[in-house]
Amino acid sequence: MHISAFKYCKIRPYTRFYTFGSQYEPLSLQYGQTLYPITVAYETWGTLNRYKDNAVLIEHTLTGCSHCASHGPEDDEGWWEPLVGPGKLFDTDRYFVVCSNVLGGCQGTTGPSSYAPSGKPYGASFPVITIGDMVKVQRELMKHLSIPFWHTVAGGSMGGMQALEWAVRYPSLVRSAIVIAAPLKASAQSIAYNEVARQAIMSDPGWKGGQYYTSQGPVRGLSVARMLGMITYQSEKAMEYKFGRDLVSPEPALTGTFEVENYLAYQGTKLVQRFDANSYLYLSRAIDLFDISAGRPSLESALGRITAKMLVVGISSDILYPSHQQKQMVSALRQSGVDASYVELVTDHGHDGFLIDFEKIIPLLSEFMLQESETVAAI
């Protein structure tokens, strides 16, 4: 099994693995390199029906994983727990739901912390990957699971990029897609945020050029990267509401004086315990490289390939991928002849609203899924 090494990969009872590729049949990556073998960690919920027309693919975010929902009361809750399960939005009594860890990740799918054919972790020798490469790996998993097409592909942020890429790259394999808080291409500002985070990691002496797996690693650098990320996932109003200028101590110090500082430090420490710094570097770079028109004649020709029905969701308080970017996406989709609609999640939670404000986002998605569910045959 070619899984991610060391402490990062949490093997759950319901996690499954699929390995493909060899020296003679490697995966060709978007920037010309190849990779083999590749192991994909994934989880499934529900049953693929006899017509095989009820499969739903859930895509995760930058530091997410394949565990989007629990498999029963004894299991840990997933990151989209209120949306996936019996009787929920993605009703597992009706749909066969699949969620896999992405290429480049560290939760069971091949990434920088995985063992290379040399027998050592890849580290910084891992090839640069793209959102398109992630989707190509998911395509191989789809074949393995004997799924002829996706009823729906859905995700937010990096997951939304994957959902859009699926609709463009494999138009005949996607019936509908839900793209949440994602752009047509990464903006200069979002790239800038990610570059500062990467520099925090690579400037940490513990990074050691990416070959740190026999040591503690760039703990401080990854923590700072996460702190910056958490700022971009919030909104000013949310920060003010949760923390204001509340003090940890009335005695001022150079750091740790305000509650908001403690919150950021806590988030940084928490990520270090479960995520690989090199995966953060590679996945954030894949986000920066995302441009749905890249490698295609034009934006219009790229979007014109789509045959899926599209739902695009913007978030009113998002500072990372502001809602005007999703509105731009819908406009471009419609100009290309795609059946696309737009809804906006009005929330003070910022970019992370789709992972927090479940009571508001579920109704926004329900009508779309209800319309699409009419095409699903009984199991």
Q: Where are the alpha helices (DSSP H) in the chain?
A: 131-144, 158-169, 188-202, 219-233, 236-242, 259-272, 277-289, 299-303, 323-335, 358-373
Query: Taking a C-beta distance cutoff of 8 angstroms, is the pair 182, 156 a contact?
Result: yes
| 157: annotated active-site residue | yes
| Residue 215 burial class via C-beta count within 10 angstroms: exposed 0-12, middle 13-18, buried 19 and up | exposed
Contacts within 8 Å (CB) and 24+ apart, 48-51: 48/96, 48/145, 48/146, 48/147, 49/96, 49/376, 49/377, 49/378, 49/379, 50/377, 50/379, 51/377
User: Annotated catalytic residue: which of 67, 151, 349, 351?
Assistant: 351
37 prior amide bond cis, ω within 30 = yes
Q: Which residues contact 43 (CB under 8 A, 6 or more apart)?
A: 12, 14, 15, 16, 66, 67, 68, 71, 98, 99, 100
Determine which one of 133, 318, 348, 352 is catalytic.
318
Our answer to whether residue 249 is catalytic in this structure is: no
Q: Which entry of 66, 113, 157, 279 is annotated as an active-site residue?
A: 157
- Long-range contacts of range 197-206, CB-CB < 8 Å, 24 or more positions apart? 197/224, 197/225, 197/226, 197/228, 197/229, 197/280, 197/284, 198/225, 198/280, 198/281, 198/284, 198/285, 200/224, 200/225, 200/228, 201/225, 201/277, 201/280, 201/281, 202/281
Dist CA 111 CA 108 (whole Å): 8
Instruction: Assess whether 318 carries a catalytic annotation.
Output: yes
Mind telling me the catalytic residues?
157, 318, 351
